[in-house]
Amino acid sequence: MQIPRLHPDTIEEVKQRVDIVEVISEHVVLRKRGKEYVGLCPFHEEKSPSFTVSPTKQMYYCFGCQAGGNAITFLKEHSKRSFGEVVLDLARRYQVPVQMLEAEQREELQRQITLREQLYEILAVGASFFQHALRQPQGEAALEYLYSKRQLSEETIQKFQLGYAPAGWEILYGYLVVQKSYPAQLVEQAGLIKLRDGGSGYIDRFRDRLMIPIHDSQGRVIAFGGRTLGDDQPKYLNSPETELFNKGKILFALDKAREAIGKQDRAVVVEGYFDAIALHSHGIENVVASLGTALGLDQVKQLLRYTESKQIVLNFDADAAGTKAAQRAIGEIANLAYQGQVNLRVLNLPDGKDADEFILKGGAEKYRELLLDAPLWLDWQIQQILVGKNLKQADQFQQVTAEMVKLLNNITNDDQITYYINHCGEILSQGDSRRVGLLTDNLLNKIVRHWEELLNQDNSLKVPLLVNNLLKQNKRFKTRPSVNRNKGQKELPVTSESTLLERAEALLLRFYLHCPEYRQLISDTLEEQDLLFSLPHHRLLWLRISSLQETSPDLLSALQNLYVDFPEEMAQVSGLFYLDENAELDILRAPELIKAGAACMERVMCENLYRHFLELWKNLDSSLDLNKRQYYCQEFYRAKQRIKELDQQLQFLYFYR
């Protein structure tokens, strides 16, 4: 379906409401650095982060591939969707009223937004109903369970809005549909009732269960988890997937844990609702639960927004099922962990206890101590490899060695691979120091052979330094010469004419954008020397600046609209909207550099004039027009003299360094 044209007011409202850090964090793991965020660019392969997101400017920029823009641009390029689709999606997300030029489309989107609002309302009323039922005679057993079995305080029960679903088949249906007059179809879409097996009429989805509301990050009820108080199966029943609820993207208690995660710079992930609730009730509030599913990449990226050190501790049950869940979670995020984008640790509580059981008996302080000592995920993985293995048996020794090598093959960090090769060698030596060196060499040789095979298939892979040195020594691999990141393009010398003009024009534009105090000086300098921006993308930006500067006090924000109309040109100037360390140093000597930038632009202009008149002079028949020949000669000589003067001015300045 073709999306109609959006009203400019709608686009502007979306830009004002959208949080670029929140949007990009769903696709890129970001780490806070000063006032901005950095991460690995999703638009090209890189090992070191050069992708920068500015919450104050609501813009992103990659210093590696020069991709840049606002939240709309990012989603448009990343998801390969049209501008209209992206804006509509953001409008739904941030509840922006949509104005379109086609009324029927506006009505359809408004219907979808209204639907979500109605579902939020129904779920909130449902949560209140369950809370009320918990205090009624029929909820007495559920309340006693919370007090006695779970040892929860009244404060915790209210904090998590715990409730009770009565045992009848149509109790909630009667309250919401009959008494409150909500349409049955909407209550069904909220996940609270379902059609009878025969298809006639509805029944309550949750019956005789302890009810645990699930909230989104803004604290709105979006679903429920229901625990049976008898022998019904399943023991825990979750709401179905709805317009509001996607189980794989939600973390239980994140709305209550966000602040504590930020303060303690650590997020703890447990398996069950009551594990999280019990820890919160004992003052350990940086805890979320994964709703009984394997912890996914989307959920991890949510957590990483709130911890600067990117530390996440998995505290799953120590039984076979819990270990398997931890292994699945590690598998989901192993790439991030290997790259150092998440500081992942795994905590197994003593005696196989889960967090709820341990905190009731061991106490909060003991739990905090164990959290601090939780091993890194690689150490935990090695421990799991050794479980049940007898290294004195040849077949088991061989199996352990193979699994260790498989784990070590994925490490690309130089320090990590050196440490873990030696660590595994010590484990395999079983305390015999004479064997450590031999076993370590054996591991290293296996890893080198693995990398050799990979590099035969793709020699652009980043190789750990330790492995690369051995490859060179063994003459098994000839390292590639470094190439320019723009394949196929010959790298120009720093002082070539094209680079000189690019740097000069970019410098003046960057100063103009970020330093209002120098704008008049730049304008006057360009006007006095009759200089124009020559490169098309710079000329476009300057013309737009000239038209906006008198009407738009926030020049940077106003210029964002250019990304929509001129995406290719703006991609070439995105870097000008950011200041790296070198640019910030340049500002300290801005007057000198403005003068130098203008001189460089004039030099390139004179170079063009020199070549132009020289060509005319060479091709002119002197017998036909002696005066014209003399004029051409004077002009190219004058241009050449001016170039010499400018070179003398610039020889100790920025552009020739």
**Which residues lie below 8 Å from residue 178, measured CB to CB, with a gap of 6+?**
none
Altogether, the residues listed in the chain come to a count of 657
* Cβ-proximal residues to 162 (8 Å cutoff; 6+ apart), any chain: 131, 134, 146, 152, 210, 211, 212, 213
What is the Cα–Cα distance from 646 to 650, expressed in whole angstroms? 6
Ramachandran bin of 80, using left for φ above 0, alpha for ψ from -120 to 50, beta for the remaining angles: left
Q: What is the pLDDT of residue 3?
A: 54
Residue 525 has pLDDT above 80, yes or no: yes
Average pLDDT value for residue range 259-277: 92
For range 154-172, the mean pLDDT: 95
Q: Which phi and psi angles does 269 have, rounded to 5°?
A: -115, 125
pLDDT in tens, 383-435: 999 999 999 998 899 999 999 999 999 888 878 888 999 999 999 999 887 77
The identity of residue 650, as a single letter, is L
Tokens of 569: 């040109």
Say if CB 563 and CB 70 are below 8 A apart.
yes
Distance between the two ends of the chain, CA-based, in angstroms?
55
What domains are defined for the chain? 8-105 (3.90.580.10), 114-245 (3.90.980.10), 249-380 (3.40.1360.10), 388-473 (no CATH), 497-656 (no CATH)
pLDDT of residue 268: 96
The pLDDT, as a whole number, for residue 640 is 86
Report the C-alpha dihedral over residues 462, 465, 466, 472, rounded to 10 degrees: 80
363 sits in the region (left: phi over 0; alpha: psi -120 to 50; else beta) called left
The verdict on whether omega for the bond into residue 234 sits within 30 degrees of 0, i.e. cis, is yes
CA distance readout (Å), 269 to 272, 345, 369, 415, 539? 9, 10, 16, 28, 52
Tokens of residue 250, six digits:
């939600």
Give pLDDT, residue 559. Answer: 76
Q: Note the helical H segments in 363-464.
A: 364-372, 377-386, 394-408, 414-429, 433-457
Which amino acid type is present at position 411?
I
pLDDT band at 489; cut points 50, 70, 90: very low
The larger pLDDT score, comparing residue 463 to residue 283, is at 283
More confident site: 465 or 249? 249
Total-model pTM: 0.61
For residue 319, the model assigns a pLDDT of: 73
Q: ∠ CA 517-519-524 to the nearest 5 degrees?
A: 125
pLDDT of 543 above 50: yes
Burial (CB count <10 Å: 0-12, 13-18, 19+), residue 375: middle
For Cα atoms 187, 159, 257, give the angle at the middle one, nearest 5 degrees.
Answer: 100
Residue 250 buriedness (CB in 10 A; 0-12 / 13-18 / 19+): buried
345 forms bridges with which residues in the sheet? Answer: 313, 376
pLDDT beyond 50 at 145? yes
DSSP 16: H
- Which is nearest to 178 in space by CA: 189, 170, 169? 170
Statement: residue 485 has pLDDT above 60: no
What one-letter code names the amino acid at 245?
F
Query: Residue 488: which pLDDT band, with cuts at 50, 70 and 90?
Result: very low
Q: In percent, how much of the chain has pLDDT > 90?
A: 36
**Among candidate residues 554, 571, 639, the one with its CA nearest the CA of residue 605:** 639
Using CB atoms within 10 Å of the CB of residue 240, give its burial: 0 to 12 exposed, 13 to 18 middle, 19+ buried. middle
The confidence band for 477, taking pLDDT boundaries of 50, 70 and 90, is very low
Q: Is residue 482 scored above 50 in pLDDT?
A: no
Please give the pLDDT value at position 502.
84
pLDDT at 106: 59
Q: Which two tokens stand for residue 386?
A: 């050794």
The confidence band for 496, taking pLDDT boundaries of 50, 70 and 90, is very low
Are 100 and 6 a contacting pair, CB within 8 Å?
Answer: yes
Question: Residue 458 and residue 109: Cα distance in Å, rounded?
Answer: 47
Which phi and psi angles does 260 have, rounded to 5°?
Answer: -65, -35
Cα–Cα distance, 396 to 412 (Å, whole number): 27
Q: Kindly list the distances between the CA atom of residue 233 and the CA atoms of 140, 237, 319, 354, 631, in Å, as whole numbers in the listed order.
A: 21, 8, 21, 21, 99
Helix (H) or strand (E) holding 436: helix 433-457
Residue 33: what pLDDT?
A: 85
Beta bridge partners of 270: 289, 315
